[in-house]
Amino acid sequence: MAASGAAITTVLGAPAPLRDRVAIVTGGNGGIGSAVCRHLASLGARVVVNYVDDPAAADDLVSAINAGYGGATRAVAVEADVSDEGQVRALFDAAARSFGPTLHILVTTAAVMDASYPSLADTTAQCFDRTFAVNARGTFLCCREAARRLVRGGGGRIVTFSSSGVGSLRPGYSAYLATKAAIETMTRILAKELRGTGITANTVAPGPTAAPLLYAGKTEAELATYTAEIPLGRVGQPEDVANVVAFLVSDAGEWINAQVVRANGGNV
């Protein structure tokens, strides 16, 4: 297996279309985030796994990715709260120290959702503020930092995360879905602002996906309702979403820009 720093043309015998591209994935130790990290690494990318809690999960993910390269350093874990401006800057600096100054890909999966409030009238200001701090402000801070660095590097890919719930408007999720609607708008404007730089900015909006955010606080009956609403007859798997991200950040996705891709099995 090739050593760290060498040009890798295949990963485990398969083509490596993201060979040596550097990717930061926020919330990289989460359900969807970890699938994105594994998939990008399998395509040859060097991956920065951002996390804010559960460092053991982040370390296990990094170890698994590196083991696939014979122990070479192809992934690193970096703790950072994306709602904090200084920590976001430190996250990007850590990526540069680990894999060089050129960044190619940013994927922002980090998010929080508190489903314990049944309506907007019941939602606390503290819940609202925290949800916007992580989801909307965190995406803003990471996109701003990436846009500056990707321009210096000559182009790249930004993929933010929304939710297909923005379209369905399910009661009880006003704060969470408001942040996701803001992310969709912000990303589309960003794509226009980056005209001529070679940078694309798109949003992936998953439907119900088998990840911690889906299961938190829900009964079996509620989960069954989600499944019944999906024409394909199942909730999504994190790998389903990771496949969409991989396409958008690849050369094959270079003509997709300023779009919201609703990866939801037809749950519209």
**Residue 69 falls in the annotated catalytic set:** no
CA–CA dist 128, 214 (Å, integer): 19
DSSP per-residue string spanning 78-93:
EE--TT-HHHHHHHHH
DSSP per-residue string spanning 9-48:
SEETTEE-TTTT-EEEEETTTSHHHHHHHHHHHHTT-EEE
Residues 6+ apart with CB under 8 A from 13: none
CA–CA dist 146, 265 (Å, integer): 30
Strand-pair category, 10-11 with 14-15: antiparallel
Given 51, 69, 173, 176, which residue is catalytic? Answer: 176
Contact 202, 261 (CB under 8 A): yes
150 C-beta neighbours (distance < 10 Å), count: 25
Contact 41, 47 (CB under 8 A): yes
Contact 218, 212 (CB under 8 A): no
39 C-beta neighbours (distance < 10 Å), count: 20
Catalytic residues: 176
